[in-house]
Amino acid sequence: MSAAEQQQIKQQQLTAALVWHGSSPWVSAVTAGATAEFAAMGVKVVAVTDAQFDPAKQASDIENISMLKPDFMLSLVVDAASAKGSLQKAVDGGARLVLLSNPIPGFVLNQHYAGIVTDDMFGMGREAAKVLAKHFSDRDAGKTKPARIATIFHDASYFITNNRDQAFREELAKHPQLQLVAEKGFVREQETADVAAALILQQPQLDAIYVSWDAAAEGVIEALRAAGRADIKVITHDLGVNNLLDLARSGNMMATIADQPYLIGQTMARQAALAELGRKLPAFTLVPFTTVQQDNVASSWQHSFRSPVPPLLQAVLQP
């Protein structure tokens, strides 16, 4: 946005509401980015909600916030079918809607919503497979037996994880030094420890496991530790302190592919304002990702979250 465009928005004394799916350091970083960008434009954030991954609660949150008549509404929707009616009412009431990653079936760009900001889902999935390929190419140089890989994937209809998981599978198939030997699904994060425990009994020769996202990978790491399987590596997406501690300590975690939530929030706020000024935006705007390995944990955290490295993690990273 130009300085003149920012001034135009400031003169209107607009308001915004942030309607989120859950709470986490990632969500907090999105909120921080959006709030900072709105503040620079003189837009007042009047509400921030946490649906606790409950579609009914999110629909209620949207209804309640609509009573405040915000000019802008930013949201990552848990379940499009449940939220659609409430979002339609908010849009009909004058809110400009910017979505995070998950589209709403039937909603039309520039009519129902201003744009969708998302991480590079396909790029992140492909990158996870490429990191595995490089690791095992370096480790197994000269060997003819491929590394045995399993996936613990998100077995639910969810736009972000489904696309990342599928991109990982497609890229994996391009690397003959990697062999996909098992795929196990999960719906809730709490299930992954049991899924991983069963998997390593069925596939004792595993070399690595791909998991859909960071919090779900925590259960996998736990199961591997309990089984004494320090040899099996894990790769996932997003940033979480527990898994970064494991990565910093040369544990099971090999790498994670992380997006930039602070930048996502900034971009969503900017898109809402640009739409208010009549700018036509693309259907999807992609935010880049970072490959996080042992040598760049601290810088990746700061880059993604725009916040200091947590003290516990900092203590482990210090030489």
SS3 per residue for 211-236: ECCHHHHHHHHHHHHHCCCCCCEEEE
Residue 142 has pLDDT above 70, yes or no: no
Residue 319 has pLDDT above 90, yes or no: no
pTM (two decimals):
0.89
pLDDT of the residue at 58? 96
110: number of Cβ within 10 Å? 11
Give the pLDDT score at 140: 67
8 is in which domain, residue-wise?
A: 3-120+260-288
Tens-place pLDDT, residues 144-154: 689 999 999 99
Domain identity same for 266 and 210: no
Contact assessment for residue 244 and residue 313, using Cβ atoms and an 8 Å cutoff: yes
Residue 274 belongs to a domain with what CATH number? 3.40.50.2300
Q: Do 179 and 309 sit in the same domain of this protein?
A: yes
- Examine the domain organization and report whether 192 and 310 are in the same domain: yes
Residues 254-290 pLDDT 10s: 999 999 999 999 999 999 999 999 999 999 999 999 9
Residue listed under structure tokens 């700018």: 279
Supply the pLDDT for residue 204. 96
| Rounded distance between C-alpha atoms, residue 131 and residue 133, angstroms | 5
Q: What pLDDT is attached to residue 138?
A: 77
Residue 64: CB atoms within 10 A of its CB come to: 14
24 and 94 together in one domain: yes
Whether the pLDDT of residue 139 is over 80: the answer is no
Distances (CA, A) of 296 to 62, 114, 143: 39, 35, 29
Interatomic CA distance for residues 148 and 161, integer angstroms: 22
> With contact defined as beta carbons under 8 Å apart, do 100 and 159 qualify?
no
The answer to whether residues 228 and 283 belong to one domain is no
Is the same domain home to 247 and 271?
Answer: no
Q: What angle do CA 296, 260, 317 make, to 5 degrees?
A: 25
CA 260 to chain centre: 9
pLDDT of residue 141: 65
**How far is it, in rounded angstroms, from Cα 233 to Cα 20?**
32
**Full DSSP string of 115-173:** EEEEE-HHHHHHHHHHHHHHHHHHHTTT--SPEEEEEEEE-S--HHHHHHHHHHHHHHT
CB 262 within 8 A of CB 93: no
34 & 87 share domain: yes
Angle at 257 between CA 166 and CA 36, to 5 degrees: 115
Distance (Å, whole) CA 177 – CA 18: 45
d(CA 117, CA 103): 10
Q: How far apart are CA 210 and CA 132, in angstroms?
A: 9
Q: Which of 77-81, 249-253, 314-318 has the highest mean pLDDT?
A: 249-253
Residues 230 and 111 grouped into a single domain: no
How many domains, the chain? 2
Residue 196 and residue 224 in contact, taking contact as beta carbons nearer than 8 Å: yes
Residue type, 262: Y
The set of residues, in sequence order, having a beta carbon less than 8 Å from that of 92 and lying 6+ positions away, is none
pLDDT bin (cut points 50, 70, 90) of residue 313 is very high
Residues 147 and 114 occupy one common structural domain: no
> Do residues 95 and 151 both lie within one domain?
no
Contact present, 168 and 210 (Cβ < 8 Å): yes
**Sign, CA torsion 144/204/207/140:** negative
pLDDT at 159: 87
Q: Cα angle vertex 295, ends 134, 132, to 5°?
A: 20
pLDDT value at residue 264: 97
Q: Do residues 203 and 312 both lie within one domain? A: yes
pLDDT tens, position by position, 183-216: 999 998 899 999 999 999 999 999 999 999 999 9
Mean pLDDT of the chain: 95
Mean pLDDT, rounded, for 243-256: 97
Q: What is the mean pLDDT of residues 107-119?
A: 95
Mark whether 142 and 187 lie in a shared domain. Answer: yes
Which stretches of 237-310 are DSSP H helices? 241-248, 261-276, 297-305
